[in-house]
C-alpha cells in the first residue's frame, strides 16, 4: 500500500501541467516535441550494464564544455541514474509561472528525470509501459528547457515502447549506440542497430565502452571483456566507429559522486569523450549556430 501511495503521488506531480489525450506521431512522420532543441541525440544500447548513462552524461558534458546549450533527458523511467550522476538526486520538481516544470542545472547542463519525482531513491516505478512513455512525453512537452543546441536523451535498454515512442515523437539528429566488447552485449546491441535502421533513424556512430584496462603499476593494457568487437560491429552494419572508452576506475567513481569526468577529470580522461564528441560532430548533419 505504501508503494502504491508513492506511485500515485508521482503520477499526480506529472499530471499537474498535463491535460487532454496524447496525439502520437509515426516513425515515418514523427511529431516535433522538442522544437526548442536544434539537435536531438539519443544514446541507446539495446542492453543494460554497458555504461550507457555514463556515456550520455559525459557526452552531454563534453558538448557543454564547447559552449553549446545542452539539456539531458533521462528517459530510463524504471532505472533513472542521471540525477545521481549530476549530483541533483535530492532536488524535486517545481513549476514556473507559466506552469512549466523547471529543469535542474549542474555542470553547464539542464537536466530532467522522473527520478526527481520519487519520494525516495529506492521507490520502484511499478508502471505499465503506456504510463512510462506518457511520462517521458510530458518531460519533453512541459519542461522549460529554453533554447538548446543539443538535447541528449539517455534511453532505457531494449527495443520496446520507449524507443518506438521517441522515434515517433522527435526528429532525431543522431543515435549513438553503446556496447562493450562482450559477445553477449554485441548480440543485443545488434538488435538495437537493426531497429534504428528499420525506423530510418540516423546513426551517428557506435562507442565501445569498457574496452580495456590499463594496470596502474605496469601500464600493461588488458582487454578484460574481449577485443575489437565494437569496431567489427560498426563495420558489419556500416556505421561510424566513434571510439573506445577504457575500464577506468575514476570514471566509475566520478559517476557515483556526481562529477562527470568530462567536466572534472584530467586532460587524458576528458580526452576519451572529447574525441568521441569530435567524431560525432564531424559525422552527423547537426544544425549548429555560428561560433563566435
pLDDT digits (tens, 9 = 90+) for 151-183: 999 999 888 888 999 999 999 999 999 999 888
Do residues 33 and 140 lie in contact, with contact meaning Cβ atoms separated by under 8 Å?
yes
Long-range contacts of 234-237 (CB under 8 A, 24+ apart): 234/205, 234/206, 236/190, 237/190, 237/193, 237/194, 237/197, 237/203
The Cα–Cα gap between 258 and 252 comes to 10
Q: Which of 92-96, 159-163, 183-187, 190-194 has the lowest mean pLDDT?
A: 183-187
Is pLDDT of 4 > 80?
A: no
Percent of the chain with pLDDT over 70: 91
Torsions phi, psi for 26 (to 5 deg): -140, 150
- Per-residue pLDDT of 205-232, as tens digits, reads 999 999 988 888 888 888 878 788 899 9
- Per-residue pLDDT of 277-292, as tens digits, reads 999 999 889 998 765 5
H helices present in 116-160, as ranges: 129-141
Mean pLDDT confidence for 240-247:
95
The Cα–Cα gap between 270 and 280 comes to 15
Provide the pLDDT for residue 290: 66
Provide the pLDDT for residue 2: 46
The domain spans of the chain are: 2-14+32-281
CA 24 to chain centroid: 22
Where is pLDDT greater, at 217 or 1?
217
pTM of the entire structure? 0.91
Percent of the chain with pLDDT over 90: 63
Cβ-based burial of 140 (10 A; exposed 0-12, middle 13-18, buried ≥19):
buried
Tell me the CA end-to-end span of the chain in Å, nearest whole number. Answer: 56
- Per-residue pLDDT of 8-54, as tens digits, reads 555 566 655 555 566 777 777 888 999 999 999 999 998 888 999 99
Provide the pLDDT for residue 120: 79
Residue 47, all three cell numbers: 542492453
Do residues 137 and 169 lie in contact, with contact meaning Cβ atoms separated by under 8 Å?
yes
Mean pLDDT confidence for 193-203:
94
Provide the pLDDT for residue 13: 61
Provide the pLDDT for residue 5: 44
- Per-residue pLDDT of 69-91, as tens digits, reads 999 999 999 999 999 999 999 99
Q: Which of 73, 43, 34, 67 is nearest to 171 (CA)?
A: 34
Fold held by 2-14+32-281: Rossmann fold (3.40.50)
Provide the pLDDT for residue 3: 45
Do residues 161 and 133 lie in contact, with contact meaning Cβ atoms separated by under 8 Å?
yes
Where is pLDDT greater, at 64 or 117?
64
Amino acid at each position: 500500500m505504501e508503494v502504491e501511495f508513492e506511485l500515485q503521488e508521482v503520477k499526480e506531480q506529472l499530471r499537474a501541467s498535463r491535460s487532454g489525450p496524447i496525439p502520437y506521431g509515426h516513425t515515418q512522420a514523427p511529431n516535433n516535441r522538442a522544437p526548442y532543441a536544434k539537435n536531438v541525440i539519443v544514446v541507446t544500447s539495446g542492453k543494460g550494464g554497458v555504461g550507457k548513462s555514463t556515456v550520455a552524461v559525459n557526452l552531454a558534458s563534453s558538448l557543454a564544455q564547447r559552449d553549446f546549450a545542452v539539456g539531458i533527458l533521462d528517459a530510463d523511467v524504471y532505472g533513472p541514474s542521471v540525477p545521481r550522476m549530476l549530483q541533483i538526486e535530492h532536488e524535486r520538481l517545481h513549476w514556473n509561472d507559466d506552469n512549466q516544470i523547471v529543469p535542474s542545472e549542474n555542470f553547464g547542463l539542464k537536466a530532467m528525470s522522473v527520478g526527481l519525482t520519487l519520494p525516495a531513491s529506492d521507490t520502484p516505478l511499478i508502471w505499465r509501459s503506456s504510463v512510462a512513455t506518457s511520462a517521458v512525453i510530458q518531460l519533453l512537452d512541459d519542461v522549460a528547457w529554453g533554447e538548446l543546441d543539443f538535447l541528449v536523451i539517455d534511453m532505457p535498454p531494449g527495443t520496446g515502447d520507449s524507443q518506438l515512442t521517441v522515434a515517433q515523437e522527435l526528429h532525431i539528429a543522431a543515435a549513438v549506440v553503446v556496447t562493450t566488447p562482450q559477445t553477449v552485449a554485441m548480440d543485443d546491441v545488434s538488435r538495437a542497430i537493426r531497429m534504428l535502421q528499420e525506423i530510418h533513424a540516423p546513426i551517428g556512430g557506435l562507442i565501445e565502452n569498457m574496452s580495456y584496462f590499463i594496470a596502474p603499476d605496469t601500464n600493461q593494457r588488458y582487454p578484460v571483456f574481449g577485443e575489437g568487437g565494437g569496431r567489427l560491429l560498426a563495420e558489419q552494419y556500416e556505421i561510424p566507429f566513434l571510439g573506445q572508452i577504457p575500464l577506468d576506475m575514476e570514471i566509475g567513481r566520478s559517476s557515483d559522486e556526481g562529477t562527470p569526468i568530462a567536466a572534472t577529470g584530467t586532460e587524458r580522461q576528458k580526452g576519451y569523450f572529447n574525441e568521441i564528441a569530435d567524431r560525432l560532430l564531424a559525422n552527423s548533419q547537426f544544425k549548429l549556430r555560428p561560433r563566435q
